């Protein structure tokens, strides 16, 4: 999911069958997405990248909205994309589809032409070429969504609006390693290569297993004031957010703010603040942690909100940045430093 600050919030929640039909072919059969060397790489500028390269480390930028951004190319045109661990599928801003020359899904394709998101349908578009550094993804599906909240926030903050989102359908097949503090995204270019990306040093880190849901979201075990719970690992969330009914049940005082958030195809809703006495993520214990509080109904499936233990919120970018968060999509492991 991509969560914006006071100017808006966007999240992609897909029905399980649609997620399977769109995401699974990219994960289970990566041959559909052909990897080719790119001559427009931000790392190997001006010359053809080495043919035997197996991994690449791409530098990321951090926006004023606390999102990690990647400079890429869509159909040969420069694009700015958010890295969103909470998004099951990659997306394109609906107002940029024509600019980048994306096309509709072919009628003979097994991919769905539309996805139902939060009760409404969004069109799936095809990028003939999506270049991420030296990796060129061919015929890449991207769901067209309204990123107007992000665009308005970027304008108010005098920064470039994002053109789209890189989601789990790309991060998993490439066994991505996302370093949230160093702002580096490492991708495996050759899926036949075994082993992890070289150079990673996890000494001094707390290892937290992540669990993958049927909807291609990652969750970690946590405790909120001693109550067992789960949090979605979401680099698209500018801050950690908890579900309002859960916080109220704990009788934690809520403080009003002027902030509001909205989801894709959902009405805008208010954001409150709360101070959690103890928030534990794996073995990492945070004391008197201030978090945002919103109603996550519709953004997280009701079955997960009511599960035992329940999913009670989003583990957002401020914790991942402050505690050296490294997300390893290949091993489904989150590394944090105390």
Point out the domain boundary residue: 130, 160, 188. Answer: 188
Average pLDDT of span 102-122: 84
Q: 156 with 109, same domain?
A: yes
- Those residues whose C-beta lies under 8 Å from the C-beta of residue 45, and which sit 6 or more positions away, are none
Res. 15 pLDDT band, cuts 50 70 90: very low
Looking at the 3D structure of the chain, how many domains does it have?
A: 2
Give the percent of the chain with pLDDT over 90. Answer: 56
Q: Is residue 35 part of a domain?
A: yes
Q: Is residue 4 part of a domain?
A: no
Q: Tell me: the pLDDT tens digits for 224-251?
A: 999 999 999 999 888 899 999 999 999 9
- CA max distance for the chain: 60
d(CA 332, CA 259): 33
Average pLDDT of span 259-274: 76
d(CA 139, CA 229): 39
Per DSSP, the chain holds a count of helices (H) and strands (E) of: 7, 24
Q: Are 12 and 1 in contact (CB under 8 A)?
A: yes
Q: 156 with 277, same domain?
A: no
Q: 212 with 299, same domain?
A: yes
Q: Is residue 167 part of a domain?
A: yes
Tell me what percent of the chain is helix, strand and coil, each rounded to the nearest 5.
15, 40, 45
Q: What does the pLDDT read at residue 121?
A: 85
**Whether the predicted pLDDT of 51 surpasses 70:** no
Question: What is the CATH number for 218?
Answer: 2.40.70.10
Nearest in space to 137 (alpha carbons), one of 99, 111, 171: 171
Q: 165 with 213, same domain?
A: no
Q: What does the pLDDT read at residue 4?
A: 40
Average pLDDT of span 158-181: 94
Q: Is residue 194 part of a domain?
A: no
Average pLDDT of span 104-126: 85
Task: Give φ, ψ of 303 to 5 degrees.
Answer: -60, -30
d(CA 29, CA 27): 6
Q: Tell me: the pLDDT tens digits for 137-168?
A: 999 999 999 887 778 778 888 999 999 999 99
Q: Tell me: the pLDDT tens digits for 299-317?
A: 788 888 888 999 999 999 9
């Amino acid at each position: 999911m991509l969560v914006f600050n006071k100017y808006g919030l966007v999240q992609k929640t897909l029905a399980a069958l649609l997620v399977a039909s769109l995401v699974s072919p990219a994960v289970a059969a990566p041959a559909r997405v052909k990897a080719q060397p790119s001559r427009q790489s931000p790392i190997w500028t001006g010359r053809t990248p080495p043919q035997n390269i197996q991994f690449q480390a791409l530098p990321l930028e951090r926006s004023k909205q606390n999102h990690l951004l990647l400079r890429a190319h869509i159909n040969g045109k420069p694009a700015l994309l958010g890295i969103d661990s909470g998004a099951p599928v990659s997306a394109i801003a609906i107002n940029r589809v024509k600019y980048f020359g994306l096309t509709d899904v072919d009628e003979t394709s097994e991919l769905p032409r539309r996805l139902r998101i939060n009760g409404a349908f969004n069109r799936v578009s095809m990028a003939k070429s999506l270049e991420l550094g030296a990796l060129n993804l061919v015929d890449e599906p991207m769901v067209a969504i309204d990123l107007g909240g992000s665009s308005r926030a970027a304008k108010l903050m005098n920064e470039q609006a994002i053109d789209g989102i890189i989601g789990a359908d790309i991060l998993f097949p490439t066994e991505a390693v996302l370093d949230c503090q160093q702002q580096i995204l490492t991708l495996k270019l050759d899926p036949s290569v075994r082993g992890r990306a070289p150079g990673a040093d996890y000494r001094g880190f707390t290892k937290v297993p992540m669990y993958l849901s049927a909807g291609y979201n990652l969750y970690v075990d946590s405790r909120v004031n001693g109550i067992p719970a789960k949090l979605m690992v979401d680099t698209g969330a500018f801050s950690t957010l908890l579900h309002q009914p859960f916080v109220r049940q704990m009788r934690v005082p809520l403080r009003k703010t002027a902030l509001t958030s909205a989801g894709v195809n959902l009405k805008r809703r208010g954001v409150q603040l709360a101070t959690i006495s103890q928030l534990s993520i794996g073995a990492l214990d945070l004391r008197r942690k201030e978090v945002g509080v919103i109603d996550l109904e519709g953004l997280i499936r009701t079955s997960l909100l009511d599960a035992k233990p329940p999913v009670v919120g989003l583990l957002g970018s401020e914790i991942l940045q402050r505690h050296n968060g490294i997300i390893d999509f290949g091993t489904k492991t989150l590394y944090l430093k105390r």
